[in-house]
């Protein structure tokens, strides 16, 4: 598929640190060198074009491939929900509980759950296993989260507007309850360079909210055709869809700027084309680095989500 990049921005340069290193001692020089190396790696992530012609075989199950171990319906206490919540966890092929893994939290769309992405033979599970076998991504632990952050027994009786209110709570809940639980239960790194969040549609919007509300925690943000409701827009005016979670994107500092911020939307998307481009425009105005792709031929479905997750898996934690 052909695609058009909307922007390729570099992150903050290490020039000042390098100049300082020229006149300082060895400790300063080492710091400057490390910073320059980090910036170079980040620049390479943004400069590398994403692909949208990933073969269907990557989303199929193959004999002899280890797709890891999925632990389903893990119950944990959520103080934000004032109830039990559940998540699914994928431990990668070759899992070794004595080592420490990076972790990616993945978020479903408006009508999904914690089992939508991380479950037996889902496109995400198969994609990740196939990529890992070919060495196209690094071993990581995937956590499928449920955006609904209230008593789960009430979920089906809620209106869409009430579900959106409940989904908004996950932005606080993931940091307050889920991440501490995962970090206590599984050997995951607690460093932002090893922590990512990604989602599509409503989950893409929440990935932006989570990433920007917890910039010190998340180093990588993937948001695929994010819906309205992140910051104020004129889209869907008068409905619950237009109610923003925050008034603006928080301004990152030099220390918590995302290592990689990736958004994408198909040019045939009937729901989230305008919102994605609007977020891109606002991020550009704030000079916040982002790689945002407008991709020809794709709509709002898992065919597109699969392409996006391929790109994100290939770049995070590198």
CA 154 to each of CA 93, 165, 316: distance values in angstroms, whole numbers, following the listed order: 36, 13, 36
Tens digit of pLDDT for each residue in 40-73? 778 899 999 999 999 999 999 999 999 999 999 9
Instruction: Identify the pLDDT of residue 37.
Output: 56
The tokens 């109830």 sit on which residue? Answer: 83
All structural domains of the chain, each given as residue ranges with its CATH number in brackets, are 3-19+37-315 (3.40.50.1820)
pTM of the model: 0.89
Tens digit of pLDDT for each residue in 66-104? 999 999 999 999 999 999 999 999 999 999 999 999 999
Q: Distance (Å, rounded) from C-alpha 249 to C-alpha 231?
A: 7
The two structure tokens encoding residue 261: 């911020």
Burial label for 195, CB within 10 Å (0-12, 13-18, 19+), is buried
Q: Distance (Å, rounded) from C-alpha 172 to C-alpha 121?
A: 30
The two structure tokens encoding residue 317: 């934690």
Q: Which of 89, 94, 81, 107 shows the shortest CA–CA distance to 143?
A: 89
Q: Which of 19, 10, 81 shows the shortest CA–CA distance to 43?
A: 10
Tens digit of pLDDT for each residue in 259-276? 999 999 999 999 999 999
Beta strands in 92-248 (DSSP E): 103-107, 141-145, 195-200, 220-224
Confidence of residue 151 (pLDDT cuts 50, 70, 90): very high
- On average, the pLDDT of the chain sits at 91
Q: Distance (Å, rounded) from C-alpha 39 to C-alpha 243?
A: 36
Confidence of residue 257 (pLDDT cuts 50, 70, 90): very high
């Amino acid at each position: 598929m052909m695609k058009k990049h909307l922007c390729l921005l570099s992150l903050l340069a290490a020039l000042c640190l390098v100049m300082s290193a020229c006149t300082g001692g060895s400790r300063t020089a080492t710091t400057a060198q490390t910073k320059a190396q980090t910036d170079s790696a980040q620049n390479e992530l943004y400069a590398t074009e994403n692909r949208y012609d990933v073969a269907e075989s990557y989303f199929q199950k193959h004999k002899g491939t280890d797709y890891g171990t999925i632990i389903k319906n893990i119950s944990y206490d959520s103080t934000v929900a004032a109830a039990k919540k559940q998540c699914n966890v994928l431990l990668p092929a070759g899992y070794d509980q004595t080592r420490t893994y990076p972790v990616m939290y993945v978020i479903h769309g408006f009508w999904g759950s914690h089992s939508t992405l991380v479950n037996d033979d889902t496109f995400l599970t198969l994609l990740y296993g196939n990529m890992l076998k070919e060495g196209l991504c690094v071993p990581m632990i995937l956590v499928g989260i449920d955006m609904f952050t209230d008593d789960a027994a009430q979920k089906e009786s809620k209106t869409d507007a009430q579900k959106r209110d409940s989904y908004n709570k996950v932005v606080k809940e993931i940091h307050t309850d889920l991440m501490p639980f995962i970090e206590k239960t599984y050997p995951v790194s607690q460093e932002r360079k090893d922590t990512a969040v990604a989602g599509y549609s409503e989950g893409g919007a929440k990935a932006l909210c989570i990433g920007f509300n917890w910039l010190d925690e998340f180093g990588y943000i993937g948001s695929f055709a994010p819906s309205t409701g992140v910051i104020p827009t004129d889209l869907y005016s008068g409905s619950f869809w237009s109610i923003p979670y925050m008034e603006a994107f928080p301004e990152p500092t030099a220390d918590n700027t995302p290592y990689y911020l990736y958004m994408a939307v198909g040019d045939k998307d009937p729901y989230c084309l305008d919102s994605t481009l609007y977020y891109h425009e606002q991020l550009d105005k704030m000079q916040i680095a982002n790689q945002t792709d407008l991709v020809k031929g794709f709509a709002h479905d898992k065919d597109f989500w699969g392409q996006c997750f391929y790109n994100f898996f290939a770049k995070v934690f590198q």
